[in-house]
Structure 1
């Protein structure tokens, strides 16, 4: 995969991974935190609503307690009660009405019902009503609020259930405090608190926060729960609410469980949305305030934060990816340019250079590649020069190996000729030895014949003549041996010269092979072998020269001896006429001839042995020459290979 595609893929994966991480953080970290913050905020909201209501109710309770205290101290005169109680009731805030409810016959003798109750009129004034004292009205002493006050402690406010006033149709709640006079229960002081303001306050809070606030009294009756449904659920008990709207059953169940302060609901309590319930208890009134938070409101902050985070993060990622792609594409372009430059170097176009722009890492890389290209060009130029030198040396070595092969062939031919000449000399020496032995035998026979009789003298003379002839032939043969020995010496000189030249050539070849380095190692081995063989040839030629010198010396002595024999034979031939007279001298002479013939035979045998040795040496020289020729042929083959390699190297260096 190309780097550019990898960058695109990496950028996409980076964006995707960042979104996944951000989504995970929002869902696993931010959402729970903000949800808890929303719940905490709702708790605070419920507490504020509850404490505000509790504060208002506490003020009403305090005012009711004040009414009870005043009623306990006033003289039992209606005028005094009217004068002092009415201003207190009018001083209260949110008071729909209030009054004093005495026991029968306590305020007025023989009056079962003598209550003093002031009701707030439409113009905001309080009017003293006598409706509850009429004969046709029910006895107020039988009302639950009255009976509950009797059971309460002195000064304790007993709150009634919330109710809707039948006259004003306004939700109210009544605080009842019993009155003690003369340590006896005397009656009850009450204040009716108008709860209509709670509805408007909760509705304003709903509109401001988007939540649903409610008040639940001690009888589990919803005092107010505006806006949660189109129908009015105020002043309904929880059981009635559940019966009227089944979707609110989860809310009813949670509220009926008095220990529940926080509860979460699925879609239903709030239409088409999940919701959270938070409640706050008013201990003094045993009421509860509560807030129902729709999930949309609870998550509004999360959604807003998510939107801005995603927007900012995506913008940053896109900016980062854009910068990455811009610089990545620039990097890819520089890499492509660098690749093209390297390809041009491979093609031999060494005059092109990479353009260097800026001072970043890629610019440093371009400079390094240009420097490397220059260095490579210098190396190639050096290789070209060295290749030309190797080529010339290889050609010269090839010529030398060719000449060495030719000279080795000539040396082998000369050695063959030398071997043939020495073989002939050996044959001649063997023949001379046989002749000398024959002369010795004849001389012995002559001596025997002389000893046996005079008659043999003539034959002896003939034998002497024959001996003379044979001695002449022996002299000629030995002379030829001497001459052949001189020729062998000349041939040995040629062999020595050729060996020296071969040694020099091998030395030069070894020097050239050392220059050639690794490619000339095999050639160096062959050159060393040739030099060794040349040295051995020189040693063998020296030994042959020594033997030939000995042979020449022996031949010279043989020639002298034979010459003397000829002289003696001439003397014998000249004196053959006087043989009779000098018989004893002849016998002595024959004995001398016999002894000398024996010496000649021994010398001839030695000469034959020397000749055989020379023959063996010549054969060895021939074998060495053959080996030299084979090595020269191999050297020639190696030289050709080296020359071919040098030619190819030179051609490569020219590309």
Structure 2
């Protein structure tokens, strides 16, 4: 059977492990989720910040071109433009410097141009200023000749017709200017008259590095980066992929990237994919030029902080579990030590050892339920010890009384045997006397003939009467002494028996004390039940306490079992005391009703027998005195002999009755002796029972 300490420590360890794992899982889950959110937030902030920077650059370019378009059209005469193709060339001279100024003040502007609708102007009319390198000055060059290209030739004149057809300012796709070897992107604003007629366009070609440098500066975690795509997820700028490459062509996990990027509602959200066997996430942000700024980073780097935090939480969880285990062992040992000591006291009580213990004294000083229980058990042991001391004293008194009674019964038995032997001898003498009397009657004739024989017979009768008188006196003396001793023995036995029976009644107090113990055990069980209910309400935090409460309930049950055992033993003691009381009562009734009466009768018979012996002696004396006058008084002798014969017969009957009474007395004495032996056995049982208790 596992100890309470083991169960309590195991419960604490299990609760600690469960709590640590639960808290660890929750902490790891929350930390990973929070760190993931933080990582996504940081990624979003990076994207938003970089988007703002790029859009700021784009907006500056757009603002510059838009302002240039307004300046260019501020003094434009539409009617003159429609009436003469030369008007465009004339007007160009007035705005050419403005175009150059705006281009010089626009970062990254490589080319600036103002072109007119070829339907109302010459094919090469307008302004076209270009740098030969990024650092060189703008130079005015001959504009592209529209007459050389068809409107559908997007490659050469798409920069003009696409914005006009769109009827709004647009950003053209980046392209490589082979003439100056610069990768550029164009922003073009179409110009319209109030009636909607196309006048021309104003635009600038911007060094694409103005945007790509900002993209390259974007750092997402350790190895993450940014790139540009269009709305269809085609690469506009990527350090590892060519322009125009579809993201779906890079890896099968990007098959849905076009749908994802094409939905503006997904802006700022992430999509998982794999590239070169590395799990990654990307998020996109819309740029003002219609491109998508895409940020990508490995998942391991995004969640690196979360993984590190998870490792720290796991380490902290292990440390917390170890500390909880140490604390649990210390607490379990400390909490169960009083219970083990209390169990030791209860086991000592169950072993009928009521000697005081140091552990019990320490437990009673505790100001908790253990201290209360130890106090109650101490009170119980104290009362049981007092009862057993009383029972031990009662057993000693009973043992002494039964020993004395045994000696008296032995003496009484010896006296009864002597009386029986004496009555038997007396009966034999009376039978002999009766036979002699009959012989005298039968031979009365011979007595008349021989006075000598009569004289001899008279002398023999006188001698016999003397013996009878002695025996009668002895019988009377023995009966008187026996009656006196029996009276004394009866008085002593009655006094001691009454005292022993009264003292034996103290055993009944044990029943009341065991009832009190049962009530205490019931209250303890109720307390354990309440503790279990409170522990159940406390949930997981109350399981250790619940185990302790269950063990206290088990201790109460053991106490109840011990009390039941004591009840059984006390029942045996009560039975033994009851048998002893019955035996003593039987003996006292026998002494009072039978033995005293018989000895009274013995005394009366002895007195009568003594009187008869005196009478017989007187008759023998008279017979001797009348021997000389035998002849004269032969008739009287015959009559006297008849009377003697009748008296002898009566004496014989009386003596036979005395013999029977003596035999009955002997039987009753034997029966009383047997009852005394039963009482002695009961006293031995009590002595053995008391010997089981250790009081000192």
Q: Normalising to structure 2: TM-score of the pair?
A: 0.65
Say whether residues 1:152 and 2:166 are aligned partners: yes
Counterpart pick for 1:273 among 267, 271, 278: 278
- Is the Cα–Cα contact under 8 Å of residues 462 and 617 in structure 2 kept in the other structure? yes
The answer for the alignment partner of 2:209 in structure 1 is: 196
The answer for the alignment partner of 2:228 in structure 1 is: 215
1:275 Cα deviation after fit: 1.7
Note the 1:180-191 alignment, pairs <5 A: 180-181=192-193, 183=195, 184-191=197-204
Provide the secondary structure at the position in 2 that maps to 1:206: coil
- Is the Cα–Cα contact under 8 Å of residues 232 and 258 in structure 2 kept in the other structure? no
- Is the Cα–Cα contact under 8 Å of residues 47 and 289 in structure 1 kept in the other structure? no
Counterpart pick for 1:305 among 306, 309, 331: 309
Say whether residues 1:119 and 2:130 are aligned partners: yes
The answer for the alignment partner of 2:117 in structure 1 is: 103
| Distance 1:422-1:515 versus aligned 2 partners, 3 A rule | farther
Aligned residues: 597
- Is the Cα–Cα contact under 8 Å of residues 110 and 207 in structure 2 kept in the other structure? yes
- Is the Cα–Cα contact under 8 Å of residues 226 and 293 in structure 2 kept in the other structure? yes
1:112 Cα deviation after fit: 1.8
- Is the Cα–Cα contact under 8 Å of residues 27 and 313 in structure 2 kept in the other structure? no
Q: Distance in 2 between matches of 1:409 and 1:613?
A: 19
Q: Distance in 1 between matches of 2:153 and 2:125?
A: 11
The answer for the alignment partner of 2:486 in structure 1 is: 499
Higher relative contact order (CA 8 A, sep 6+): 2
1:303 Cα deviation after fit: 2.6
Which has more radius of gyration? 1
Say whether residues 1:163 and 2:170 are aligned partners: no
Say whether residues 1:224 and 2:262 are aligned partners: no
Say whether residues 1:253 and 2:261 are aligned partners: no
The answer for the alignment partner of 2:601 in structure 1 is: 543
Note the 1:530-569 alignment, pairs <5 A: 530-535=587-592, 536-553=594-611
Provide the secondary structure at the position in 1 that maps to 2:604: helix
| Distance 1:460-1:11 versus aligned 2 partners, 3 A rule | closer
The answer for the alignment partner of 1:49 in structure 2 is: 50
| Distance 1:419-1:644 versus aligned 2 partners, 3 A rule | farther
Q: Distance in 1 between matches of 2:258 and 2:685?
A: 107
- Is the Cα–Cα contact under 8 Å of residues 483 and 599 in structure 2 kept in the other structure? yes
Which piece of structure 1 moves more, 128-137 or 490-499?
128-137
Note the 1:376-415 alignment, pairs <5 A: 400=404, 403-404=407-408, 407-408=411-412, 410-415=414-419
| Distance 1:188-1:220 versus aligned 2 partners, 3 A rule | farther
Which piece of structure 1 moves more, 96-105 or 627-636?
627-636
Q: Distance in 2 between matches of 1:505 and 1:615?
A: 29
Q: Distance in 1 between matches of 2:357 and 2:633?
A: 113
Q: Distance in 2 between matches of 1:340 and 1:605?
A: 82
The answer for the alignment partner of 1:417 in structure 2 is: 421
1:479 Cα deviation after fit: 6.4
1:4-33 Cα deviation digits (max 9, x unpaired): 999998998788656644552355332233
Counterpart pick for 1:84 among 95, 98, 102: 98
The answer for unaligned runs of 5 or more in structure 1 is: 443-457, 577-585
1:501 Cα deviation after fit: 5.3
The answer for the alignment partner of 1:25 in structure 2 is: 26
1:68-126 Cα deviation digits (max 9, x unpaired): 4444442441112213333334443443333222121534xxx2232322334533643
Provide the secondary structure at the position in 1 that maps to 2:123: coil
Q: Distance in 2 between matches of 1:209 and 1:643?
A: 94
1:620 Cα deviation after fit: 1.1
- Is the Cα–Cα contact under 8 Å of residues 527 and 635 in structure 1 kept in the other structure? yes
1:485 Cα deviation after fit: 3.0
- Is the Cα–Cα contact under 8 Å of residues 225 and 296 in structure 2 kept in the other structure? yes
Q: Distance in 2 between matches of 1:555 and 1:218?
A: 161
Q: Distance in 1 between matches of 2:226 and 2:140?
A: 36
Q: Distance in 1 between matches of 2:128 and 2:331?
A: 89
1:299 Cα deviation after fit: 0.9
Q: Distance in 2 between matches of 1:469 and 1:135?
A: 208
- Is the Cα–Cα contact under 8 Å of residues 447 and 453 in structure 2 kept in the other structure? no
